[in-house]
Copies of this chain bind each other. A is one copy, B any other.
């Protein structure tokens, strides 16, 4: 990212490629450009390096390389994960990313309500599971609110249902998928500890290259390919392997994992400072969901009565970049389905800002950002009053 004074607070939408990832990728653009399926030694070497990168990705999440499918992004991973439902029923929540909701709607789906806390209730999931439910999909952390979901509790509910099915001789499988794109580098992502059967991780959200993600699934989870062809990725995702992208992704994920503990502490402190400054400086501003059950780098605030889209334009003139919601939703010009789902009023939803911090965020940036937001809110409130 350029260091020219821009105050970027939208790391949930996009992260810049890290130097470590770019350095790892560079040789594969030019001198190591070979097709990894070609039969001669330098191509076989490229294939080995590709497999080593998949192994590195697997190690970072506590899985095995053979259980990872590299895809072109989280949306593709999520759509592929949904095929684990077979012809069965899917349970998901009302605050999932559009990729999950739209892919799930291709199936028979139940969408559970989410309370004002922004935290999915494991018991609501339990109640929504039917005898023909084959997949539950809940994101690790919500992409707008930053709320961290109780995956372990949901996994326990799912395990109980599996046991009940076994006890009655019902062989209908039931799998648990989580889109963990938003949590990488901020919270521990280990597939066994999270209790998931499938997980989506997006390189573009952890300082890796864009257009690369992975879907890990536990051995035994049957997937149906979205594309057919040369049979790469164990036949689950045909097409020449994305060598440079995967190697950059592995470097970025390892780097993010190594930095995680110190970085999440640092981001949490910065976020708390940002929150404190905004709350102190703004009478009408409220923190949407205070407390600890949020990603350390996430801060979601509401200024009811103020038009957040106008705020964003005002702020961008001062070089401050924040979001109203997810980038996809922002672009469609519609009210956030996440904020509506947790019961915000229209005025609250329309006056919401998503502030997300990342690796290049500093205390000085946070102080300047908070000041700019306070000023912008004041001037908007004055404008509305006139």
Residues of A within 8 A of B (CB): 1-2, 6, 10, 13-17, 22, 29-31, 33-35, 37-43, 71-76, 78-79, 97-99, 102-103, 105-106, 204, 209-212, 226-232, 238-240, 242-245, 309, 312-313, 315-316, 321-324, 326-328, 330-332
- From A37, A231, A316, A322, residue with most partner B Cβ within 10 Å: A37
Q: Please, how many angstroms separate the alpha-carbon atoms of A211 and B226 in the complex?
A: 16
Known contacts A72-B211, A99-B238, A103-B229; A22/B31 CB under 8 A: no
**Which of the residues B31, B78, B211, B229 comes within 8 Å of A211, measured between beta carbons?**
B211
**Which of the residues B15, B102, B209, B316 comes within 8 Å of A228, measured between beta carbons?**
B102
State whether B40 touches A312 (Cβ < 8 A).
yes
State whether A31 touches B2 (Cβ < 8 A).
yes
**Which of the residues B14, B75, B321 comes within 8 Å of A230, measured between beta carbons?**
B75
**Which of the residues B40, B98, B209, B322 comes within 8 Å of A231, measured between beta carbons?**
B98
Q: Please, how many angstroms separate the alpha-carbon atoms of A34 and B14 in the complex?
A: 6
**Which of the residues B16, B99, B313, B330 comes within 8 Å of A37, measured between beta carbons?**
B330
State whether B17 touches A22 (Cβ < 8 A).
no
Tell me how far the C-beta of A359 lies from the nearest C-beta in chain B, rounded to whole angstroms.
12
Give chain B residues whose Cβ lies under 8 Å from the Cβ of A229: 75, 78-79, 97-99, 102-103, 328
**Which of the residues B31, B37, B38, B72 comes within 8 Å of A72, measured between beta carbons?**
B72
Give chain B residues whose Cβ lies under 8 Å from the Cβ of A230: 75, 98-99, 326-328, 331
**14 examples of A-B residue contacts, CB within 8 angstroms:** A1-B31, A13-B43, A16-B31, A37-B327, A37-B328, A39-B309, A39-B312, A40-B313, A71-B72, A72-B72, A78-B229, A103-B229, A230-B327, A230-B328
State whether A243 touches B103 (Cβ < 8 A).
no
State whether B211 touches A242 (Cβ < 8 A).
yes
**Which of the residues B31, B322, B327 comes within 8 Å of A240, measured between beta carbons?**
B327
- From A17, A211, A238, residue with most partner B Cβ within 10 Å: A211
State whether A227 touches B76 (Cβ < 8 A).
yes
Known contacts A38-B10, A210-B240; A228/B103 CB under 8 A: yes
Those 7 A-B pairs whose CB atoms lie nearest each other, nearest first: A230-B328, A99-B229, A72-B72, A75-B239, A37-B331, A37-B327, A102-B228
Give chain B residues whose Cβ lies under 8 Å from the Cβ of A72: 71-73, 76, 211, 239, 242
Residue of chain B at shortest CB distance from A14: B35
Give chain B residues whose Cβ lies under 8 Å from the Cβ of A327: 35, 37-39, 43, 230, 240
Residue of chain B at shortest CB distance from A34: B14
Q: Please, how many angstroms separate the alpha-carbon atoms of A15 and B97 in the complex?
A: 37
